[in-house]
Amino acid sequence: MSEPTSRPATDPITGRPAPGDAARVPAPADPRRHPAAPPPPAAGEPLILAEGLRKVFTVRRRAGLVRRTRTEVRAVEDVGFRVARGEMVGYIGPNGAGKSTTIKMLTGILTPTAGTLRVAGVEPARHRTRLARRIGVVFGQRTTLWWDLPLRDSYALARRIYRVEPARFRRNLDRCVELLGLAELLPVPVRQLSLGQRMRADIAAALLHDPEVLYLDEPTIGLDVVSKATVRSFLRELNEEQGTTVLLTTHDLGDIEQLCRRVIVIDHGRIVHDGDLSRLHGAEGGERTLVVDLERELPPIDVPGARTVRVEGPRQWLAFPATERAAPLVAAIARDHPLLDLSIREPDIEQVIARMYAARRGPGGH
Ligand SMILES: Nc1ncnc2c1ncn2[C@@H]1O[C@H](COP(=O)(O)OP(=O)(O)OP(=O)(O)O)[C@@H](O)[C@H]1O
């Protein structure tokens, strides 16, 4: 395959025509046009506030040779959440659940059909340009960088667009270059970067203006284990040391487990869970497993509140509801059995989430 020499004529993801820079990114608007400082958030107001948020798309479909029908797609329905400054929140859900639509409303790219939305005290769709300086956005499947320019020049352009003072720009760029391993990539045109390199480059671009909030939509999609680890540890440090608030959308539950204490689950446009990741473990019948090592091989342990699911020599596995405490169970086993050792395994988050999605879909669901 021949290498492209200029910006691709079509968007590599959607296949739609890419009309210049506008198609490159669903980027925040150019902040130069409205340089006025945004009003500070009201005292006590969370950094992100969504209440009764709704987005309905009207889609026209061909219903015959000439006739067209209009259908409504309810992408987001009565969504509400608050994110405090410094939080790192996972926003997950199955395909078509409404995650990207929410993020696009949070950046001001899409206007909500109804509801209240404020980010850093600003209504995103009304003050998109003002907000642009305070947020960073990474869409894993698209780039915010200039396809033909060396990475270094893309960053220089971003500096001008966001009017970042040179010293601050230098400091932020140096930090990103070091932590994301970008030094050798700076002279390379963006089109020549691998997916993992491009993703790291995009994350750096989103942070050059010190945003208060970083939205990440699938930041580890298609990355190998090493690149994933680099991106994850960078994000963890960004959140812990710089205090940047992060809203992370991903299908990779490893991202969520390693980065987020709080997770919001959306399905069919509605929030179905908002809370600690550990609470999610107990949702939808999640089970923990007690792995018990006995002094010798014995028949399956029979103890109230748990069921033995596997026996291998002197080792037995007992499943019990993740919402229950393990201590009484351990005490009961230790009282009646020659116990040598034990450990507890948390439920597999993938299974918990899969069960959660399936429960809402029903047997004949889509
Ligand atoms: N511009 C649009 N016009 C019409 N329908 C849309 C548009 N954008 C999204 N939708 C629909 O809205 C619903 C939510 O889509 P959205 O992209 O927000 O889902 P998602 O959770 O990000 O999914 P995925 O995990 O597959 O990226 C889907 O049914 C989708 O087809």
The number of CA neighbours under 13 Å toward the Cβ of 159 is 15
**For the chain, what are the domain ranges?**
21-279, 287-346
Mean pLDDT value of segment 266-272: 92
ipTM reported for the complex, 2 dp:
0.98
Mean pLDDT value of segment 59-65: 81
Confidence of residue 253 (pLDDT cuts 50, 70, 90): confident
Mean pLDDT value of segment 117-129: 93
In this predicted structure, the answer to whether residue 107 has a pLDDT above a threshold of 80 is yes
Which protein residue has the closest C-alpha to ligand 1 atom 4? 57
In this predicted structure, the answer to whether residue 170 has a pLDDT above a threshold of 60 is yes
Which protein residue has the closest C-alpha to ligand 1 atom 12? 75
Confidence of residue 13 (pLDDT cuts 50, 70, 90): very low
The answer to which of 32-36, 171-175, 255-259, 264-268 has the lowest mean pLDDT is 32-36
More confident of the two residues 21 and 44: 44
How confident is the prediction for the chain on average, in pLDDT?
84
Q: Just give the CATH number of 21-279.
A: 3.40.50.300
Which protein residue has the closest C-alpha to ligand 1 atom 25? 95
| Residues lining ligand 1, Cβ inside 6 A | 57, 59, 73, 75, 93, 95-101
